Copies of this chain bind each other. A is one copy, B any other.
Amino acid sequence: MTTTTPPDDVRAGSLPGDAARSAALYTEVQAFYARQAHHLDAVRAEEFAATFAAEGVFAHSPDTPAARGRAAIAEEVRGFNARRFADDPVQRRHWFSMLDVRPGEDGAVETEFYALVVVTRPGAALPVIGPSCVVRDVLVREGGELRTLSRQVTQDRTLL
């Protein structure tokens, strides 16, 4: 994102368009990720899938083939939760931080950020936190709204 400082005359007056657009995009991405994570953690499969582009690709685990398109993404979210947590009920929370946002020439937006999953189980006072990941997304706009076109999740343990 643009980090050019406003010149002195601008500081006393209106903000330059570049700085305002960078701020608007950065917060829009933050809010987009918040709602996307809220859908995923509440297992609202259709609403989560709707945050992906029509041709979006969702690869959430190295052990699972990528899901392509919203119908497949919704099905993968439902199926993953059914398979993995049927006998191990959990409340998951996806936490993102240290977000970098780089707008491209073509309207696409590249992001890079850290992610942790916070997992609470019945009867446990404290959550289990991990794995630690780096996520790289390509976001696009459909009908004016941000959508995830692709997501690459790298678990830190695979870097060692």
Contacts and interface: CB of A to CB of B under 8 A. Distances in A.
A90 interface: yes
Number of chain copies forming the complex: 3
Given A15-B17, A91-B156, A118-B114, A5 B145 contact: yes
Interface residues of A, number: 66
Nearest to A114: B93
A124 to B, nearest CB: 7
B124 A30 contact: no
A130 interface: yes
Contacts of A96: 97-98
A81 interface: no
A157 B31 CA distance: 25
A28 interface: yes
Interface in A68-86: none
B121 A130 contact: no
A17 B19 contact: no
Contacts of A104: none
A90 B160 contact: yes
A27 interface: yes
Interface in A1-42: 1, 3-6, 11, 13-15, 17, 19-24, 26-28, 30-35, 37-38
